[in-house]
Structure 1
């Protein structure tokens, strides 16, 4: 499977009592992302508060996402687990419900060695035939995978077909390209780096931004593919204040606050995360008037 373009990250809405995922609102938010021209949907990432869901809740969100998208674009289910066993359980469920791929990030309490990380991915890949996107985001996972390790896993584990690089270091993307002789597709996961990453040959941009910026992320991707760099720069700088704000403020709280400002009430983030305060809401409202 060759993914290109905008891979969008939906939130996980909660009911007003914060007791359970609100599947109806989830469906509405997914439809909006599709209307905004997103090329794939990736539920249950950092934006979707995957780490704060029970396994039962995670399964409900995963299954409903696949059902709502209904093969209109690929669905990539996010998996981030401390244990290999639970990651495998989730991978099996993703395959069972008809997901197109899985995005896997190991989460660490004890610092993992490269061999342990390799074993984690190898065990998951041996269980399912789904394409696997390696997700490198040390800021949230506590695991930093080097370009050398990422390319080694790509070469030696057949299911691994792509990587999302979220460190914000463009040199890592260059290194992945060089070490894999351009064979390993890489995707930008750092919002403020979108312009440079796409110009450097990223196959796509993994982002929650379409929730708030609607069609602008896809417009940026299209302009770069058309080699209209001046228009691409103009488009990117229109987005940058919002991109910087939502990353600095924390994606679940800022995206949920922005959706509420746009008329879609999706509840608050799950505690210990808190909702955006009035000052942040006012700033976001101003930024979204672009």
Structure 2
């Protein structure tokens, strides 16, 4: 697998639900195809934005199956997250069997593991698959933090680790990883409102959130910033930033699904324990999204 699989905009796709709370596979397929038509190069289902923790094992496998069928040659790279290492191993194997082209591996949910434990979890999943791996570091969400040295140690042991999604929010980590690994790893970010900064620090891939509602704008933002730096993209970034910041609030899933609903590409339905935004939180999000729609640039 070439490292080009990781270089570009890859949606962390939301999981759509029908009115009776089931996964809406018909919309999932259509939504993914729309994002690829806008220039996205792959699809990451079953991440935190995909409400993975609320999906059953069988639902996760079915999501991967739907996307592989809908997207053909476009890589589907599911998130591998679960409460136990054993289930993560089984999920990795099931996703590979369904035709996934890579895996985004994250620490086990709920239990905040130390390096000794996190390393063992990661190694068990990596050994269970032949697929290329994206190592996902998001200590804010998962309470387990991989340092630059630990990331590089894992990459040295497992050659199939091709990329790292560094989402600690500390932009300095990117320089630290490069210092230790050279160009061994493709650097990616999963933070919408740090994409331009990340590109300046060597990121070449973006696992994006608001791309679910604004795919073309996301791809153009990425390409202009990659090719021309901050000056080339400042006007577009200024327009997009308030909406991108909705990706980094605790209720980012609800906010991004609300954005989708307001642009006519989805529903804000979420699975409990999440509930749709209401009150002041909703008013703020609606205000931001309405302004983005009203002032949407001609690209």
- TM-score w.r.t. length of structure 2: 0.91
Identify unmatched segments of 5+ residues in structure 2: none
Tell which deviates more after alignment, 45-54 or 208-217: 208-217
Which residue in the other structure is 1:191 paired with?
A: 192
My pick for the range that moved more, 214-223 or 199-208, is 214-223
Q: CA deviation at 1:280?
A: 4.2
| Correspondence for 1:16 among 15, 19, 31 | 19
CA distance in 2, matches of 1:229, 1:110: 39
What is the CA RMSD across the aligned residues, in angstroms?
1.6
**How does 1:68-107 map onto structure 2 within 5 Å?**
68-71=70-73, 73-107=74-108
Q: Tell me by how many angstroms 1:11 deviates.
A: 0.8
Query: d(CA) in 2 for partners of 1:124 and 1:247?
Result: 28
Secondary structure, in 3 states, of the residue corresponding to 1:234?
A: helix
Structure 2 partner of 1:169? 170
Number of residue equivalences: 288
Give the equivalent residue in structure 1 for 2:221. 220
Judged with a 3 Å threshold, the aligned counterparts in structure 2 of structure 1 residues 228 and 120 are, in CA distance, closer, same or farther, namely closer
Deviation of the 1:213 alpha carbon = 2.2
Q: Distance in 1 between matches of 2:127 and 2:94?
A: 14
Q: Secondary structure at the match of 1:135?
A: strand
Does the CA contact (< 8 Å) of 1:151 and 1:176 recur in 2? yes
Corresponding residue of 1:285:
290
Farther off after superposition, 32-41 or 148-157: 32-41
Q: CA offsets per residue over residues 21-79 of structure 1, 9 Å max, x none?
A: 010111121122112211111111111100110111111111111111111x2211111
Decide whether the 8 Å contact of 1:77 with 1:101 is kept in 2: yes
Distance 2:242 2:286 in 1: 14
Once the two structures are TM-superposed, the CA of residue 172 in structure 1 deviates from its matched residue by 0.6
Change (3 A) 1:238 1:249: farther
What is the alpha-carbon distance in structure 2 between the residues aligned to residue 253 and residue 95 of structure 1?
A: 29
Residue 8 (structure 2) aligns with: 5
Tell me, yes or no, if structure 1 residue 202 matches structure 2 residue 218.
no
Q: In structure 1, the residue corresponding to 2:45 is in which secondary structure?
A: coil
Q: Is the 8 A contact 1:136 1:163 kept in 2?
A: yes
Distance (whole Å) between structure 1 residues aligned to residue 247 and residue 224 of structure 2: 23
Provide the rounded CA distance (Å) in 1 between the counterparts of 2:111 and 2:247: 30
Distance in 2, matches of 1:191 and 1:227, equals 19
Question: Offset at 1:249?
Answer: 5.7
**Contact 2:163–2:187 (8 Å) recurs in 1:** yes
Given that residues 82 and 106 in structure 1 are in contact (C-alpha distance below 8 angstroms), is that contact kept between their aligned partners in structure 2? no
Say whether the 8 Å CA contact 1:79–1:90 is kept in structure 2. Answer: yes
Q: How do 1:26-175 residues align onto structure 2 when only pairs under 5 Å count?
A: 26-71=28-73, 73-175=74-176
Q: Is the 8 A contact 1:223 1:231 kept in 2?
A: yes
Q: Which moved more, 1:274-283 or 1:201-210?
A: 274-283
> How much has 1:183 moved relative to structure 2?
1.6
Displacement of 1:238 after TM fit?
1.8
CA contact (8 A) 1:15 1:267 kept: no
Question: What is the alpha-carbon distance in structure 1 between the residues aligned to residue 78 and residue 266 of structure 2?
Answer: 24
Equivalent position SS for 2:242: helix
2:80 and 2:106 in contact (8 A); partners too: yes
Structure 1: which 5+ residue stretches go unaligned? none
Residue 145 of structure 1, CA deviation: 1.0
